[in-house]
Chain A
Amino acid sequence: MDLFEYQGKELLRKFEVPVPEGRVAQSPEEAADAARFLGGKVVVKAQVQVGGRGKQGGVALVDSPEEAQAAAEKIFAIDFHDQEGFKLKQKADAGSLNAQETEVWEQKQRQAQRASRVLVERASDFTSEYYCSFLLDRTKRRHLAILSAMGGMDIEAVNEEHPEAVVKVGIDPLLAFSDFHARALVFAAKLDTEARKETLQILPKLYRAFVELDASQIEINPLAFTAEGRVIAADAKVVLDDSAAFRHPFFDELKAAHEVPEQEKKAKSLGLNLIKLDGDVGIIGNGAGLVMSTLDVVKDAGGDAANFLDVGGGANAEVLSNALQIITENPAVKSVLINIFGGITRCDLVAEGIIDALGRLDVTVPIVVRLDGTNAEQGRKMLADAPHPMLRSADTMLGAADLAVRLAHGEQS
């Protein structure tokens, strides 16, 4: 779960990581109130999960409550894009999109995010901006701390152009973070001399937050050295490990602030793992790897998947029936591909679920079914014995993908 900046900062404050004083506002009026409460210069920041929000107008430095209100009003009306989307937007504004870019830009526009909150914070002048993060190093299978004096910008770009300026220190999870790790980071990163002492104190606190919150990543960019000589987390990107929710009851509360597509929400409540995509071939499969591969073969057949849906292992008839309902409720879907390789999952139960869904729903798009593995023959026979005008079967994964794509494109089989 990716947290909003304000959520991340609230958590970090509990670990005594210095963050600017601030208030969350859900309307321009609340933003004005927050500015009045804080007094003086404040910064109004869109709470969205995209990179480069500042470039897109999502951050405003203002002098008064009235200005804060006006800034918030503007921010609430911005369509925020990811970095690729923003590049395309600039091209679109300049009228220089080619045909392929136009197609991608149309997709990106549908994925745009609006801010439903702004964070109003007391502003301070920065002498320097650093970068700091803690994460899991999958390659070396341990924790990793990263510190750079070149913060406040895209750290990947810094890493490419000045790899020597990005200091990485691995941490054995059994040893945990020790002061020598902090010194190794701070001295090698060549922070301003006056900023070193406070940074040395902040790093162990960030590590403690990283471990105790079950974060998969904590990124502070920038970690700011202020004109008053303080070091503060001016931004915060915290990603929590959903698998650890059982020992952190507050994860659910944090999640409630996130907007999830209606279809994904409904799928989740039914125990299905769904990610909405932009194509027109609905996908149902079992196992993340097989479903990902199904998306790939649909693309190879010239189509685009409308979703990723993994019914998981051991799915029963009810799960399949629900899955089919959710997929066919998406008006963009022109055909459905059900690709099941039964291991724990029994194909006869899959067939039962499909027959149930076809019986209770008004399904108007073709459904291509490919069954293999446990009880596949039985499942295929059940489907053959329950003919439905929209139901098609296929013998192989590739054949099924090909048929589903042709049907989505309006061809008759």
Chain B
Amino acid sequence: MAVIVDNSTRLVVQGLTGSEGSFHTGRNVEYGTKLVAGVTPGKGGIEHLGVPIFDTVKEAVDRTGANTSMVFVPARFAADAILESYEAGVPTIVAITEHIPAMDMARVVAYLHRGELPATLIGPNCPGVISPGKANVGIIPGEVCTPGPVGLVSRSGTLVYQIVHELTQLGIGQSTCVGIGGDPIPGADFIDVLEKFRDDPETEIVVLVGEIGGDAEERAAAWAKDNLGKPVVGFFAGREAPPGKRMGHAGAIVSGSQGTWQAKADAFKAAGFPVAKNPTEVAQLVAELRGE
């Protein structure tokens, strides 16, 4: 199995003809991901990277059976692009674009959460999703990953690479690595991805990579304790980051003392999950849990 992307992924890329979209999609195709279409309004009818380009996502879905879209369009158009994919019935949307206004994402996420159509939005501001050996949708370097039992979910992109690298050093592979992105209002949050890992027989252990700010890690720990049925190793970036650079004053009132590194570590320990001090220790803790 694996989650979110796999051998059944049929990918349409919004912004395929742009330089970023072309470069990274090219790498995804080399990895073995099945690309079926691109969408660039006004360029419908041409061919790019060996697939047809359409003016709208709806047309791309109708003509090619695309079931996953990757959003590579500039920030000012990206919220609209996500909604276009959703309305076209695409069940998996991976938004790589950074700097989408939070006000736009609040509306997009609220709309998707009404749940009239079943859809998973990964991102925005994320490195994408890779199921090693099956499919890669996004910018995670495929060559660092190997298939195996660890499900990895992270708010940071480069920490995915670093931790996968550490796991590889110990000969431990991954079922799926999911970058949910560093924005305050993401599509899927940790719990949404943990639910998928719970239902995935290939995933035996979960690594959750968080960072300071918000309370997504705390909520994930509480949820996983009662619902996941699989061990979790936690790691959080930003223990030494200066306070006040990210978190607003009124933001703190909503979540009390949550948002600090300590609050996240405490929540994990209370749920019985080990917390690693650094990326190297993440791999060591995973190896210990596997009895190696």
Q: Which residues of A contact B (CB under 8 A)?
A: 51, 82, 133, 135-139, 141-144, 146, 155-156, 159-160, 166, 168, 172-174, 211, 214, 216-217, 219, 237, 239, 241-244, 246-247, 275, 277, 285-290, 292-293, 295-300, 305, 308, 313, 341-344, 372-374, 396-398
Contacts and interface: CB of A to CB of B under 8 A. Distances in A.
B75 interface: yes
Contact of A296 (B101, B102, B219, B240): B240
A20 B227 CA distance: 53
Contacts, number: 179
A168 B158 CA distance: 37
Nearest 8 A/B pairs, CB to CB: A289-B156, A287-B158, A290-B158, A292-B237, A244-B101, A289-B159, A292-B238, A243-B99
A141 B278 contact: no
A396 B283 CA distance: 14
A290 B182 CA distance: 12
A141 B112 CA distance: 11
Given A292-B211, A341-B165, A343-B157, 13 more contacts: A138-B251, A138-B254, A139-B216, A146-B250, A174-B111, A242-B99, A287-B156, A288-B156, A289-B157, A293-B238, A296-B238, A298-B240, A372-B165
Given A173-B106, A296-B238, A219 B158 contact: no
A293 B253 contact: no
Interface residues of B, number: 62
A374 B209 CA distance: 22
Contact of A396 (B154, B250, B280): B280
Contact of A289 (B110, B182, B185, B244): B182
A155 B278 contact: no
Nearest to A158: B253
Contacts of A160: 256
Nearest to B102: A241
A241 B101 contact: yes
B250 A313 contact: no
Given A173-B107, A397-B280, A296 B237 contact: yes
B159 to A, nearest CB: 4
Nearest to A295: B240
B177 to A, nearest CB: 12
A159 B102 CA distance: 26
6 contacts: A138-B255, A172-B110, A286-B158, A296-B239, A373-B161, A373-B165
B247 to A, nearest CB: 10
A289 B154 contact: yes
Nearest to A246: B76
A344 B239 CA distance: 26
A137 B279 contact: no
Given A244-B101, A297-B278, A141 B250 contact: no
Contact of A343 (B106, B113, B140): B140
B249 A237 contact: yes
B159 A219 contact: no
A287 B143 CA distance: 19
B254 A137 contact: yes
Contact of A398 (B111, B250, B251, B280): B280
Interface string B130-147: 000000000111011000
Given A239-B248, A305-B240, A343 B127 contact: yes
B6 interface: no
Contacts of A295: 238, 240-241
Nearest to A342: B141
